[in-house]
Amino acid sequence: MIETHHLSKLYSRGLHALRDLTITVAKGEFVFLTGPSGAGKSTFLRLLLLQERPSEGDIVVNGHDLSKLSRREIQEYRRGIGFVFQDFKLIPNRTVLQNISFVPEVLGVPVAQQRRKAFQVLKWVGLQHRMSAYPHDLSGGEQQRVAIARAVASEPVLLLADEPTGNLDPDLSLEIMNLLREINSGGTTVLVATHDRELIRLVGRRTITLDQGRVVEVA
């Protein structure tokens, strides 16, 4: 699903965010990406989303060489990726149902189908009774469940999560991880960036550890 070869990202002033990364994530795998702040975790996810370009090396995702995609192909590629943020990034003036319908709406899905799919994923995360609420009415755990529901509404082949439990207490963090494991059990490849080693221990999945932009351990 994800293959990188000698991948590096160099910012101005000679700052290396990533150095010579060669990583493979198999289709259908659940993998943690960990390391201290500044290790390069978020940079790696941004490269996968094509929000930034590498300075050196290659990235192949689901058979797509990311260096060779046209603008139209980039849009199509991103449709196959779901993303979950630490700070939820819900649209404040839209209801829960409208937040989840946003991605299918952008993709041109008919309105009736948008609402049906949004309700299905809301029911899956146990928040169908909150579909008319606004983000500010929800707890942190509820907001993150809505964010996950939004990420999977378009049925992505790859789900990326950047510190998805960073603002949650341990019990809620494990609850969110269980949702991500359910997504993975359906065949979606899941890559989670987190510095929470205890959570990684509890979930028990392959872990790639970065430090100063380099892979220092695969466990």
**What pLDDT, on the 0 to 100 scale, is given for residue 110?**
77
Per-residue confidence at 166, pLDDT binned at 50, 70, 90? Answer: confident
How many CA atoms lie within 13 Å of 17's alpha carbon, on the beta-carbon side?
18
Domain positions in the chain are: 1-80+159-219, 86-155
Angle, in degrees to the nearest 10, between helices 111-124 and 140-152: 130
Residue 56 has pLDDT above 90, yes or no: yes
Region 120-148: mean pLDDT is 92
Per-residue confidence at 167, pLDDT binned at 50, 70, 90? Answer: confident
Tell me the two tokens of residue 40. Answer: 């390069």
Region 181-210: mean pLDDT is 93
The mean of the pLDDT values for the chain is 90
How does DSSP classify residue 45?
A: H
Task: For 145-180, give the DSSP string.
Answer: HHHHHHHHTT--SEEEEESTTTTS-HHHHHHHHHHH
Q: Which residues of 119-158 are buried (b: 16+ CB within 10 A; e: fewer)?
A: bebbebbebbebbeebbeebeebbbbbbbbbbbbbbebbb
Instruction: Tell me which of 3.40.50.300, 3.90.79.10, 2.40.110.10, 1.10.10.10 is the CATH number of domain 1-80+159-219.
Output: 3.40.50.300
Measured CA to CA, the distance from residue 94 to residue 167 in angstroms comes to 22
**What pLDDT, on the 0 to 100 scale, is given for residue 139?**
92
Q: How many CB atoms lie within 10 A of CB 9?
A: 22
Q: What distance lies between CA 96 and its chain's CA centroid?
A: 19
H-run or E-run covering 8 = strand 2-10
Per-residue confidence at 28, pLDDT binned at 50, 70, 90? Answer: very high
Tell me the two tokens of residue 68. Answer: 């060779």
Per-residue confidence at 182, pLDDT binned at 50, 70, 90? Answer: very high
Per-residue confidence at 103, pLDDT binned at 50, 70, 90? Answer: confident
Per-residue confidence at 217, pLDDT binned at 50, 70, 90? Answer: confident
**What pLDDT, on the 0 to 100 scale, is given for residue 45?**
95
Tell me the two tokens of residue 217. Answer: 């351990």
Compute, in degrees rounded to 10, the torsion defined by CA atoms 61, 65, 67, 72.
Answer: -90
Region 28-47: mean pLDDT is 93
**Residue listed under structure tokens 């449709």:** 79
Task: For 189-210, give the DSSP string.
Answer: EEEEE---HHHHHHH--EEEEE
Instruction: Report angle CA 196, 171, 118 to the nearest 5 degrees.
Output: 95
Tell me the two tokens of residue 13. Answer: 């002033």
**pTM for the structure as a whole:** 0.91
**What pLDDT, on the 0 to 100 scale, is given for residue 180?**
93
Q: For 65-91, what is each residue's pLDDT tens digit?
A: 999 999 889 988 988 999 998 888 899
